[in-house]
Amino acid sequence: MNVPRETVAAALLTLLQGTQIGGNPAFLTTGRRARVWSDVTPGDQPALFVIHPGERALQDQALGLTKWMLHFDILIYLRADASPTAVPDTAINAILDAIDAQMQSKPPAERQTLGGVVYHAWIEGDIFIDSGILDQQVAIMIPVHVLTGI
C-alpha cells in the first residue's frame, strides 16, 4: 500500500464534505464515526458518515506487490418532508445526484484520485435506500471502492 489507510479515509471524507446542492453545502453533519439515526437530531441532518467495513488484497503476480482495494460506505441520514403532498424521492434523488457529481473526477472522464492520494475511487454496487415511509427518517448507504495502487 503506497499510502496509509488513514490518509485514504480522510481524503474521501474531505472530498465528500465539499458536496453541494444548489450551491449550498449538502450536509450539516459529517464524520467518520457513524452514529445510528436516532442519535442524529433532525437539526443535524442531512448528515454524512464514511465508514470502512472491509478491504481486499489483490495479487496479480506470484512475486508482485500487493494492491489494495479498500471498501467504504457512505452513510447518509436526512429527514423527509412530512407533508402529504411531498415526495421523499425528490430529496433522496438530489442527494444521490450530488454525491455522484462530487465523486466524479475533475476534469471529467479521468480517475478520481482523491487529490492524488489513490489510484482511483468510485461508486460501485447496490445502493441501499430507506425512504422514511414510517417515520420520515431517510437512510442511504452508498458503496465506494478505492484502489490504492501499489
Segment 2-46, tens digit of pLDDT: 789 999 999 999 999 999 999 999 999 999 999 998 899 999 999
From residue 29, alpha-carbon distances to 5, 73, 79, 114 in Å are: 23, 16, 13, 20
Phi–psi pair at 61, nearest 5 degrees: -130, 150
- Sign of the torsion formed by the C-alpha atoms of 39, 41, 42 and 46: negative
Residue 133 — very low, low, confident or very high, per pLDDT cuts 50/70/90? confident
Distance CA 42, CA 48 (A): 13
The domain ranges of the chain are 5-147
Superfamily for domain range 5-147: Phage minor tail protein U (3.30.70.1700)
Question: 101 burial class (0-12, 13-18, 19+ CB within 10 angstroms)?
Answer: exposed
Q: What is the mean pLDDT of residues 52-64?
A: 85
pTM: 0.93
Q: What is the mean pLDDT of residues 132-143?
A: 93
Q: Are 47 and 25 in contact (CB under 8 A)?
A: no
* Eight-state DSSP code of residue 61: S
